[in-house]
């Protein structure tokens, strides 16, 4: 008698579980892409000093713009490296490096990584 009650109870619970889960299982799942918070805003105005953005999808124009941006960044990198060299030459060889030297080296690393990433794309 307990077995029949147990099997009846299991049947009711499983039927209730299937009925409760059916709207979730049968509903079409739509995945909406979430825009990246780091993506540039196409509605933002053009910044001063940046090369002019290309409006078309001409690959040659995009490559030309990327090359111009890489040249500007390489020039900035060269200037930073020269400044760092001058600061190190002025400092004493036996003393510790100043924070400005370390920060300049970090700026150089960051700019070099940006150049590398732009060259890859």
Q: How far apart are CA 70 and CA 62, in angstroms?
A: 12
- Tell me the domain boundaries of the chain: 56-120
In terms of pTM, does the model score above 0.75?
Answer: no
Asked if residues 36 and 53 have their Cβ atoms less than 8 Å apart, the reply is: no
Q: Which residues of the chain fall short of a pLDDT of 70?
A: 1-2, 22-29, 40, 42, 45-47, 50-56
Give the CA diameter of the chain.
96
| C-beta atoms surrounding 70 within 10 Å | 15
Q: State residue 92's pLDDT score.
A: 77
Task: List the one residue out of 59, 98, 63, 106 whose CA is nearest residue 81.
Answer: 106
């Amino acid at each position: 008698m307990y077995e029949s009650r147990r099997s009846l109870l299991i049947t009711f619970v499983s039927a209730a579980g299937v009925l409760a889960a059916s709207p979730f299982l049968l509903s079409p799942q739509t995945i909406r892409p979430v825009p990246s918070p780091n993506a540039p805003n196409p509605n933002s105005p053009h910044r001063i000093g940046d090369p002019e953005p290309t409006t078309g999808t001409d690959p040659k124009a995009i490559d030309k713009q990327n090359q111009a941006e890489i040249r500007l960044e390489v020039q900035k990198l060269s200037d930073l490296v020269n400044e760092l060299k001058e600061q190190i030459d002025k400092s004493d060889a036996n003393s510790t490096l100043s924070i400005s030297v370390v920060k300049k080296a970090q700026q150089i690393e960051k700019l070099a990584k940006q150049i590398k990433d732009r060259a890859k794309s």
